[in-house]
Amino acid sequence: MAKPPALLQLDHVSRRLSGREVLRDVSFSLQREDVLGLLGVNGAGKSTTLAIVAGVLQPDAGTVRIDDRVSNEGLCTIRARIGWVPESVPLWPELTVSESLDACGRLRGLSKPLRRMACERELARLELQAVAHRLCGQLSLGQKRRVGLAQALLHEPDLLVLDEPGNGLDPVQTAQLRELIGKLSPRRGIILSSHELAEVEAMCNRVVILHEGRVRHDAKLDGEHGKLDAQFRAIAAQPASAAA
Amino acid sequence: MSTFTIARIDLKRLAVRPFAWTLAGIVLAMMAWQFLLGVSAFMHAQPTVPGPASGPGFTDAVVAPYLLNYIQLCLMIAPLVTMQALAGDRSAQRLALLSASGASGAHIVFGKFIARLAFLWLLLVVVATVPLVLGGATHPDWGQFGAALIATALCVAALTAIGIACSAFTPEPALAATAALLIGEALSLIDAGLRITGGEGGWLGYLALHTHLAPAMRGLVRSEDIVYFLLIVALALALAIHRAAAERERG
């Protein structure tokens, strides 16, 4: 029996930003129900990779495929299958949480009854009912992250793209995030970036290590903490010239 | 659909910001003061002995200069209202959120343009209501009033579109406001020298806002003036759309 196409497939993706080559020949794939951790030190190219996957940045070279469909073709259809939460969560500070979710539902083209249902579902799923009528600008960082996640999940995307989801969260919130990702993963693929090995190990079943814009390691997590830790340290310690 | 959703979000954001209310309050207070000055000057110019009416009427002497004053104010407030439109949203990643939600560059630009234009047109409606209060007593020339109002509305649309384009091309809201202010002032003053010396305008005269506002303020709606304002709107929005659509390529 033929293997189903990967939910996400990056082939030889390269990208320059401000004259600097941020990504070089990046290739990896993600199956449905996979939680892939993109690990790398600051400036490794994680956020750029995720922005390209989310369709907000275009690769200079290479292709991004969602279910075997090149993401540049029929971009709107592809975007409808992706939920993206960037590192600094984009919110409208003057709108309440409910209004913000409703606006995102409208942007996604959800009808009024569907929008109402989706908003209630996400408010409940992310435990945001208590702050539903608070202005987004008045929320704590953890609450903002949850609102960002609710915005990304409104249209039930097949692929969830999370950029540094654990940044700035306290231990309780981090534990809640891990639990939530565990609940979300059975029906979709999740790709998240982090520079913390422990976070990736706790949430992901696969890891891709990026260094200087290149994939340096791509494997399933086998629970051998010490091995991956040593590998990550060795890669991160490599100078730029070695990575090239 | 996305266009109106974006316009709705931005209007809502404007409505809850103290900035917009403060700006509206200042503009309306200044316009009320200008109107009182105009009416006072008009009253003093009236002959004390009854006789046949001569000289400029209420619309010429009060309403047209009053609407021109609103345009002068818009040269400053349109850049303030539009500066955050794309430049502010870009730095807060909200532009990327809109883009990731499926909105195209055109949807984003039109939505933001409609929201800001609605705000400035709403102010214009309130501003235009003031002369109407004296309509029963002063018998204004409604045709001239209508023509002046149309030209003012179109000119405000052009200034808003210029502001949106500047916001699309600059990384900082303050830079966007400065650029829009400079372009607006340049269009306003480009033929100032020719006007003083009374020389032929040529293409410099055609570019000037004054050339296209003056006939309307006298009650003359010319298609070439309407085309001029619509061209500015179309050109500015096309540039903004092009820039917004290129966000994915530029990063």
- Reduce the secondary structure of chain A to three states and give it as a string: CCCCCCCEEEEEEEEEECCEEEEEEEEEEECCCCEEEEECCCCCCHHHHHHHHHCCCCCCEEEEEECCEECCCCHHHHHCCEEEECCCCCCCCCCEHHHHHHHHHHHCCCCHHHHHHHHHHHHHHCCCHHHCCCEHHHCCHHHHHHHHHHHHHCCCCCEEEECCCCCCCCHHHHHHHHHHHHHHHHHCEEEEEECCHHHHHHHCCEEEEEECCEEEEEEECCCCHHHHHHHHHHHHCCCHHHHC
Residue A106 with chain B: CB contacts under 8 Å: 1, 5, 8
Residue pair B181/B75 in contact (Cβ under 8 Å)? The answer is yes
Q: Which residues pair with A65 in a beta bridge?
A: A9, A70
Q: Is the pLDDT of residue A184 over 80?
A: yes
Q: Answer whether 0.80 is exceeded by the pTM.
A: yes
| Beta strand pairing call for A189-194 and A35-39 | parallel
User: pLDDT grade, residue A5 (50/70/90)?
Assistant: confident
CB contacts < 8 Å between A and B, how many? 70
Average pLDDT estimate for B214-237 = 94
The whole-number pLDDT of residue A99 equals 94
Which of B243, B47, B97 lies closest to A51 in space, CA to CA? B97
The whole-number pLDDT of residue B131 equals 86
Q: Under an 8 A CB cutoff, do A90 and B92 touch? A: yes
The whole-number pLDDT of residue A75 equals 64
Q: Is the pLDDT of residue B56 over 80?
A: no
The residue assigned the tokens 């750029």 is A48
Mean residue pLDDT across chain A? 86
**CA A122: distance to chain centroid?**
17
Q: Which amino acid is at B84?
A: Q
The distance of A179 to chain B (nearest Cα, Å) reads 25
Q: Under an 8 A CB cutoff, do A92 and B101 touch? A: no
Q: CA–CA separation, A64 vs A72, rounded Å? A: 8
The distance of A87 to chain B (nearest Cα, Å) reads 9
Closest by Cβ to A90, choosing from B1, B94, B103: B94
HSE-CB at B183 with a 13 A cutoff on CA atoms is: 20
Picking from B4, B9, B86 by the largest number of A CB atoms within 10 A of its own CB, the best residue to mutate is: B9
Q: Under an 8 A CB cutoff, do B6 and A109 touch? A: no
Residues of B contacting chain A (CB within 8 angstroms) = 1-2, 5-6, 8-9, 12-13, 16-17, 92-94, 96-103, 247-249, 251
Q: Is the pLDDT of residue A98 over 90?
A: yes
**CA B118: distance to chain centroid?**
11
Q: Under an 8 A CB cutoff, do B8 and A103 touch? A: yes
User: pLDDT grade, residue A243 (50/70/90)?
Assistant: very low
ipTM of the predicted assembly exceeds 0.85: no
For A208-222, B157-171, B194-208, which range has the lowest pLDDT when averaged over its residues? B194-208
Tens digits of residue pLDDT in A59-74: 889 988 888 777 666 5
The whole-number pLDDT of residue A223 equals 64
Average pLDDT estimate for A79-92 = 88
Q: CA–CA separation, B190 vs B214, rounded Å? A: 15
Closest by Cβ to B102, choosing from A15, A79, A91: A79
Q: Under an 8 A CB cutoff, do B9 and A103 touch? A: yes
Q: Under an 8 A CB cutoff, do B100 and A57 touch? A: no
Q: CA–CA separation, A213 vs A233, rounded Å? A: 16
Query: Is residue B225 helix, strand or coil?
Result: helix
Q: Which amino acid is at B114?
A: I
